[in-house]
Structures are given as structure tokens and as C-alpha cells.
Chains A and B, each alone.
Chain A
């Protein structure tokens, strides 16, 4: 690659904490990298871990789930389920050789705009380190 590799990150944010946190980062004009693209879901508990797999398959170089801090879920328990599922999917993907740095989760509350910016930074850095995800990327060219 001539220019530096810019990883593409797909993030799933819960509406009540993390998405609001991301909005706060915006309102407070905290600059972060444009590599992260956000998909809004109502709760981190909604995130089917297969979404992560699917994103990687589509060619995302990294994925991120973010939800309310444990105990603060707007829906009481969603993030607890999300945590269990994530931990296992993380292990599973690691086992087939996906760089663990690509698969991320974070707790970001509605008041943690700054933390969201940091999370993005870290996620992008890890994905950069892991390099382009083309292990099992869907390759249109092959068609």
C-alpha cells in the first residue's frame, strides 16, 4: 500500500448510553477518526454476535459493540447478555485466527463523550496494527 492503511470499523451503539455518548462527543467537538461508522440499535443486548462476524465478512477491519455500563442498562439487563455473548464470540473468532484486536466492546455512558473518542482511537489503532481484514472477506472480484 502506498498510503497508510486506513481501517474501516463498524460500530454497534446502544441508543441510550453509547449512541448518546457519541452524540455528546460531537456536541463537545471532540475530534476523532472518521474510520468508525456507527449503526444505532436500541440496546447492546440487541447486537447478535453474528453481526460482528457478518461485518468482518463484509470487509470491516474491526468491529465495536458499545453499551451502557453494567447495571445502567436502560433495559435493565441487555448489556449483561451482550457481555456474555461478546466474550464468547471474541474467543471464537480468535480461535479461527481473527486478530483479537479487531473485535471490541466498550461501556460508554451518555455522559462519556470523551471516553467514546478514546474508544474510537484505541479501536482504530488496534485494527491498524492488525492490518487489512481479508482472511474471509467477501470478495466481489471473485465473482
Chain B
């Protein structure tokens, strides 16, 4: 795991540089099983930084969330770098953002963190109840959690995010500094969940999604947390033309979710944030993973692994599959 001291020293080192504007990392949450992402601008704040299995959020999401404030006439825009701490999965977001020219490689300082998995709040609360744990640590296939003073050890799979149990990139794919020993990849992604889902006939699939989409309150958290969603104006909320209506019903909600998934085709880097943040537990990744799998099978393409790659839907291969085309 990562030594907090080293992490904080590194952060200080970066923040005192005068070409760095801010640093995005994690700090202890006010309650429960999740840390809080934090944006700090001053070396004096580094002691709040942590990294452990509660650091589930993807800091790369916050790079583009920062508004470009209007620059007063005469003044120079602040072009200083942003430093960002990333786990393996998070780092794919950086790679893909580079592919899509969200910013230049020199605009960010990437502090990579080899990761052994992070906790799924929902699983944890089912297991331990509505509590705030003490120390949380990962050793081998076990996770040790302190709850109400006593230390409990559970199988990794019972507590970690599903994404971690099929993680192919525990080590950052891009980083200027690696804060810790690279860890060994322990899993692979066979997309068994997608295959399983596809066993259903259309009617069953729709029945499933109808129930899920009806819950949606269109808070757009899934969109806003997505590190790949940073359009100036999102088509979903656009008024001219109005692709999707703001009103909530099964039709608009479905349209919204399909649009969201579509816009991530060949772009989703599977950080799972969209699904994590959903206040009404819509299994959003089920859509993304379907596309991820098909993109891989049909076009041998994987987003967020090669900063030099062409965007999937902005290139083609004359031999692309076309089995459904008359």
C-alpha cells in the first residue's frame, strides 16, 4: 500500500512549485465507508491527504469540473498545472482525456497510486450497517475493517467494488511519479456479467430496464461525475434542439440513459463512478460494459490505454463488421 507520509510529502513538493495551481486527492470522509475527494491549493493543507481502500472517487473527474473563470481585461489566464492523484482505473480517464484533447500532457502532473481495490459502500453497509469504520486495510485476499472497536476480516470479493474484482490495470497507465510499489494484477475481465445479462430475451431486458429507468430522478450525477463528460453544453440539457426533455417519465429517462451510454461508446474507462453515485441504485455500468465489451470484440479497441490512439468513432476500418447490414 501507499505510505501516507510519502504521499503528503510528494504533495507538498508539488504544491510549493509556482507552476502548480491545485492538487486533487482524497481526505477522510465525515462518516461512513467512503473518503472525500479534496482539492487543495496550499502546501499547508497536505496533512489532510490520505490513501486507503475508502478512496473510491476518481480524482480525474474533477479536472474538468473546475470552471474557467472569466479573465479580467489585461489579466493573464491562470494556466498553471493541476496535480492529480490517480489509481490505476482513474489513470485511464487521464489517458482518454488526453486522446480527446481535454488538455495537454504538460497541463497536469499525475501522481500515480498502485491500488489493490476500494470498498463498495453498499456492500459494506449491508455487512456492517450504517456505521463509520476505523482503520481499513487490505492484506492479500482479505480486507480488515475496524467496526465499533473490533477488527473484522472479510474476503476481498465481499467488500470491494466489483470493478476491482476484475481489475486489469491496478497500476496507473500514466504518471509522472509513482507513489508506491507496483502491484501485481490479480484478475481479468471476461465480461461474464454482460454474457449473463444477454441471456435474457428482449421482453425481459426491457422489463428490467423499465423498472430501473423509472427510478431515475434525472439529477445528472452520473453524467457530472463522469470524467469523460465535459462538453461545454451537454446535448441532454440542450434546448435547441431538445433531444431529451427535462421532464421525467419512462420515455425521457430511457432516452437520457441511452444517450449517456451512447456518448461513452468507445470512451468509457470503467471507473464505475456513474453507478456509484446514483442515489437510486440504477446499474448504469451494465450499459457501459455492454458497449465496452462489443467495442473490444468488434473493433479490437480499448479506450483509455493509449494516449496516441484515434478516438473510436472518429476512425474506421474498411473491414469493420457489418453482420446486421442488409
Contact = CB atoms under 8 A, between A and B. Distances in A.
Given A50-B262, A83-B322, A105-B326, A137 B251 contact: yes
A29 interface: no
A138 B262 CA distance: 20
Contacts of A87: 294, 298, 320-322, 324
Interface in A3-32: none
A89 to B, nearest CB: 7
Say what secondary structure dominates the interface of chain B.
helix
Interface in B262-293: 262, 265-266, 286-287, 290-291
B255 A53 contact: yes
Interface in A52-104: 53-54, 57, 70-71, 77, 80-81, 83-100, 103-104
A106 B200 CA distance: 27
Interface in A21-52: 49-50
A84 B243 CA distance: 22
A93 B258 contact: yes
Contacts of A80: 316-318, 320
A96 B258 contact: yes
Contacts of A139: 249, 251
Contact of B243 (A54, A83, A105, A119): A54
A57 B243 CA distance: 10
B9 interface: no
A77 B316 CA distance: 9
Interface string A100-135: 100111110000000000010011000000000001
Contacts of B325: 83, 86, 105-107
Interface of B: 197-198, 200, 202-210, 213, 235, 243, 249-252, 254-255, 257-259, 261-262, 265-266, 286-287, 290-291, 294-295, 298-299, 312-314, 316-318, 320-322, 324-326
Interface of A: 49-50, 53-54, 57, 70-71, 77, 80-81, 83-100, 103-107, 119, 122-123, 135-139, 142
